[in-house]
Every structure is written in C-alpha cells, then in structure tokens.
Amino acid sequence: AARLHGKTAIVTAAAQGMGRAAALAFAAEGARVIATDINDALLAELADVPGVTPQRLDVCDPAAIAAFAAATPAPSVLFNCAGYVHAGTILDCDEDAFDQSVTLNVRSMYRMIRAFLPGMLEAGGGSIINMASVASSIIGAPNRFIYGTTKAAVVGLTKSVAADYVTRGVRVNAICPGTVDSPSLHDRMRALGDYDTARAAFIARQPMGRLGTAEEVAALAVFLAADESAFMTGQAIAMDGGWSNT
C-alpha cells in the first residue's frame, strides 16, 4: 500500500534538489502535495505530475505566507526544505548576509510552522520535517559560518517545537544531510573557480567517497512523513556518507 495514502503535504523549495525529490516521492507514495518555490519555470515542470500541485511561495515573505496559509488547509506533512548556503567565515559575513541567511534558513520555518501548526493541532496531528545539515550543531564545517549557525538553529527549533507538542500528535524532526548532489551544489563548485578540484573536495568530505543523492534524502523524508516513524520526534537525523562519524 502507498505509505502516504490519505495524507496531504506542503513542501517548500520544491522546484529542484531535495525539495523536488521529496515532493515527487511523497506523491509517488500517495500523498497530495503542494510543491512551493519561487522558481516559476521549474515549478511549471511539476504541473503534470499526478498528485502534485505547484504553487509559488516565497518563504521570506510573511505576507505571502499569510495569504498562502489562509487559502490552504493545514497539511498532514509540512516539509520546510528552503535554505541557502552562504560561503565564508564570520569575517566574510556582514550584517546583510547574516540577516539573509537567518531569514531564509530559520525565520521561514518559524513563520511556516506558526502558520500551519494550529490547523495541524486541530486536525489531531501531523509531521513537520525541517531541513538542517550536518554542518550545524553536529559538526563545524570550514567556511560555513552563518550556514552552520542557522542550521544549528534549525535543530534547536525542531527539538523545541517537538517538545511542546509531543502529547498533541504533532511530530517534528530534522534531516541533516552531508554533501548532496543538487543544482546549487554545482553552483557552489563553479563559484570556487576550479570546478574539478572543488568537486573532488566536496566528495572527499564523505568517507564513503561520493555525494549523496536527492532521492536518498527524499526516502528519509518519506519515512519521517509516514506513520512508520510515529514513535519518533525531536530528532536530528544525519545522512551524510559517514562525514559526521569522522
């Protein structure tokens, strides 16, 4: 039987990468999925996928979130996947870069959960999945100052909300990937100048000697969305090719 039969899901940053893979995996397991992003062209590619409804949503825009929440019933599954990797140390991170990462990586989740949690509670529960990273409270990655700071905040946010609603049917877990093949990863490789050297360095971070795939992470998201994981909340689950085990 389909593992998410009868469930509804909202996914942010669903146009590409892990968000897209999760939206497709949720739909393939029988969920009705609202796939949101700011990239209209890529979202349009999802229009013909059975079970998937693409919809524009900028998770940095509080008015857009309020309008979306007013028009959208609370889902059984909320996957907050949107996030941005700022490269650099604390000395490379000015106030604007700091605020941008906090807004996109953390405040977006605060806003989305505030918008949909009341409805999820009213419906008797649900599963919230937040995209963190192993570069967070788990490990310190070089040149990932504000990224690691915000992803550690995602872990704290996850555990805090999980603790407050543990008796009311809402579960909250975080996914902490290592380096995963995605369009923005290739942008980061190109930005470093020497693409092949950058690619080799990104691969070398994983003791398994390869990148993760968006589909591997999507499989974990399906598990966290499904009732199979009903006894699990407040967890930050690493899927990282062994990176955090070194």
Number of residues that bind ligand NAD (CB under 6 A): 28
Sequence-ordered alpha helix ranges (H) in 38-144: 40-44, 62-71, 95-102, 108-122
Segment interacting with ligand NAD, rule: CB under 6 A, options 46-54, 159-167, 182-190, 222-230: 182-190
Sequence-ordered alpha helix ranges (H) in 103-238: 108-122, 145-164, 183-191, 195-204, 214-225
43 close to 15: Cβ distance less than 8 angstroms:
yes
**156 vs 169, which CB is nearer to ligand NAD?**
156
Q: Does 180 sit near ligand NAD (CB under 6 A)?
A: yes
Cα dist from 192 to 118, 147, 196, 201, 205, whole Å: 43, 17, 10, 11, 16
Which of the residues 84 through 113 are near ligand NAD (CB under 6 A)? Answer: 85, 104
Q: Does 148 sit near ligand NAD (CB under 6 A)?
A: no
Residue nearest to ligand NAD (CB): 83
Element (DSSP H or E) covering residue 79: strand 77-80
What is d(CA 128, CA 174) in angstroms, rounded to the nearest whole number? Answer: 8
**44 vs 166, which CB is nearer to ligand NAD?**
44
**30 vs 144, which CB is nearer to ligand NAD?**
144
Catalytic status, residue 195: no
Query: Which residues make up the interface to ligand NAD (CB under 6 A)?
Result: 12-13, 15-19, 37-39, 58-60, 81-83, 85, 104, 131, 133, 177, 179-180, 182-185, 214
Residues assigned a catalytic role: 147
